[in-house]
A and B are shown apart, each in its own frame.
Chain A
């Protein structure tokens, strides 16, 4: 027996292996990214033969795992919740068709949001796709639920979704575990075109069969302890109760324990869909009012239906947006209890006075920035220098932070840097305006969702510059290996894919590769690219800005080091620390000049060419 202080994502990795998951696929995205590497770690340590891969995007990951599951193996895929949007096409069909070996999808939600574009609730996707869903309340429970999900998936031959929220993924808990064993089930795909490739007529039949399964699963979920459970005393009636699930259910548990409120019954729904009607009816019948505390949307609240009894988002007792932090839950519980003429939990102001005080201190706003030495900063600087008036559609990754340098105008979703560049071109050219447009996108995002947009742009003769920021790594989500390097998640070599080949294959004729550290050269190339774009015989121009990430590749990324100092020429214009925004450059309030912070400075030397007064020099 071993014990580790595991990340929730590690606990889930463990649960997957304990459940005998044989094939596991994913595309990285906060907060899901550590599940796969943790699985590799456990799998290697126990000498298992688990097939684990980073796929090129979430849909690819989904389909890959699904095929394994219909071949009889236990398979899973995981992603962040917006990744499930990318896999939605597959996800919507999968429940109709069903599976043989257990098939589990883990979609990690990000209420807050902390590191995402939306706060969408994957339980809503589960309903849309008619996929049963589990909602864990702790890392340990997530681990157990994954096993229950596999069993359910095999019993009913349906995919099952597990949706841990960020407070599960990035919680840590001490977890004990035993030796892991390989699941030796062999792949055996039984041909059955009427099922696996069914035509619309059969889809109707499958839909009907699925609905029948749902009735049975809902029945099962009504007795699925400890995930779906209440603590009503037999025959007792209550003025007030709580219906909750997932992360908020843990907060409620802590609060009731701390304030010793065993007078308030709680219905916890850790498996809320297909909705356990029987269990919830029992609870609703025993309470005059219930407050629904769930993250992030109104899944349970809508299902309870009795709006005269139900308090929650629709009655303004629970905020419609944002994470349900414990202090917020205390506030809403106090209010709901008072509204029902009951004693509140506490007279605590839940930190309100202190938050007010902190607000009045005007503490420095710490916005995330690109790292010192980051090659993206150099690229953004050059792009802006070359074409200051352009529109800058961009995309998702570390380089989204180019917003601080004024070179990111739009971020919609993975791949939209390119597709929106096309859209901007079309919108302007209709008015006979040749608008300069420079799209930026990272290498990983380009493989994920960039190529279709690029093909479309070439095909429809849109005109813009695409700068692919190739830093040999998927940095933002925690340094996953890049497709261009050919390294796989388990350390084995795959086959590297060349960006140049793909770009050319999309029909692009103008392609240049630059090292962004050489800003003078990059500025020149971007200007040249603009000429190609404007040439009647030209087209989309692609510039690959290639330089390794300084965090992932450290010294290797900075072959030549420069010790920097700022001369007296510095006239406090602030360009370097405000616009170029290198965190290693700080304004000395006394001398009123810029200084270099030697601890932060990566000695990349990029700043040597950027100072309008030429005050940045080597020592």
Chain B
């Protein structure tokens, strides 16, 4: 398999390391090699945080600008900030309201680069389901609905199931299933989430 490159972005405190862990554990269980790069230290105090994850046989942990297959962002501005990492034909998933996404100023660029943008209000949905801090989980589930890349929705859901501690398991799976469904509905055209 060619190396698949994931850029995950968000704000300090949104749980990006946990998000990375879900992807990585899933990939590990499938027998892939993985290499990742994380933000620690000063930036974790509310700054913009990013995590690079490379599934396959890469040598360096950082993804080059223009080389990411997927950009999954827990914050709309942070999605734009990391846009340069997406390659031509890459896919963008953002926690944003689909009515106003993507910002018209980047639409032309996305078009030219054949980047498909998908948005859902992951933070809001997580909040409604009683887990305001689970935007990370919501975004993984949303992404999983599109079945792109080497990790299937079942694989990812299985990891969430396995690593959620007892009292959180049910809630986490509920978030996963709800947000996965949102993605499915976008694909089937039932709701609007892309352009």
CA separation between A618 and B14, bound complex, in Å? 27
Once the chains bind, are A254 and B60 in contact (CB under 8 Å)? Answer: yes
Once the chains bind, are B46 and A172 in contact (CB under 8 Å)? Answer: no
Q: Which residue of B lies closest to A258 (CB)?
A: B67
Contact count band on A: 35 or more
B105 to chain A, nearest CB (A): 6
Does A371 have its Cβ within 8 Å of any Cβ on chain B? yes
B18 to chain A, nearest CB (A): 13
Q: Which residues of A contact B33 (CB under 8 A)?
A: 173-174
Once A167-B37, A172-B38, A583-B46 are accepted as A-B contacts, the answer to whether A357 and B60 lie under 8 Å apart by CB is no
Picked from B13, B35, B80, the residue with its CB within 8 Å of the CB of A363 is: B80
CA separation between A350 and B65, bound complex, in Å? 6
Q: Work out how many contacts link A and B, with CB atoms closer than 8 A.
A: 150
Once A173-B34, A247-B60 are accepted as A-B contacts, the answer to whether A350 and B66 lie under 8 Å apart by CB is yes
CA separation between A5 and B25, bound complex, in Å? 8
Q: Which residues of B contact A170 (CB under 8 A)?
A: 37-40
Once A171-B35, A476-B41 are accepted as A-B contacts, the answer to whether A251 and B62 lie under 8 Å apart by CB is yes
Within 8 A of B (CB), among A241-272: 247, 250-251, 253-255, 257
Once the chains bind, are B64 and A327 in contact (CB under 8 Å)? Answer: yes
Q: Which residues of A contact B59 (CB under 8 A)?
A: 137-138, 250-251, 253-254, 257
Chain A, 158-183, contact with B by CB distance < 8 Å: what is the 0/1 string? 00000000010011111000000000
Picked from A31, A250, A401, A600, the residue with its CB within 8 Å of the CB of B40 is: A31
Once the chains bind, are B47 and A367 in contact (CB under 8 Å)? Answer: yes
CA separation between A350 and B87, bound complex, in Å? 10
Once the chains bind, are A368 and B45 in contact (CB under 8 Å)? Answer: yes
Once A354-B83, A361-B106, A398-B45 are accepted as A-B contacts, the answer to whether A30 and B40 lie under 8 Å apart by CB is yes
B170 to chain A, nearest CB (A): 21
Within 8 A of A (CB), among B29-65: 33-48, 58-65
Does B24 have its Cβ within 8 Å of any Cβ on chain A? yes
Once A327-B66, A583-B46 are accepted as A-B contacts, the answer to whether A477 and B106 lie under 8 Å apart by CB is no
CA separation between A247 and B20, bound complex, in Å? 21
Chain B, 96-135, contact with A by CB distance < 8 Å: what is the 0/1 string? 0000000101100100000000000000000100001100
Once the chains bind, are A330 and B64 in contact (CB under 8 Å)? Answer: yes
- Rank and list the top 10 A-B pairs by shortest CB-CB distance, nearest first: A351-B65, A115-B41, A354-B84, A30-B41, A250-B60, A171-B61, A351-B84, A326-B64, A327-B65, A250-B59
List 17 A-B residue pairs with CB atoms under 8 Å apart, sorted by A's residue number. A7-B38, A30-B40, A114-B42, A114-B43, A138-B61, A167-B62, A172-B38, A253-B60, A325-B64, A351-B84, A351-B85, A354-B83, A360-B105, A366-B48, A367-B47, A368-B47, A600-B13
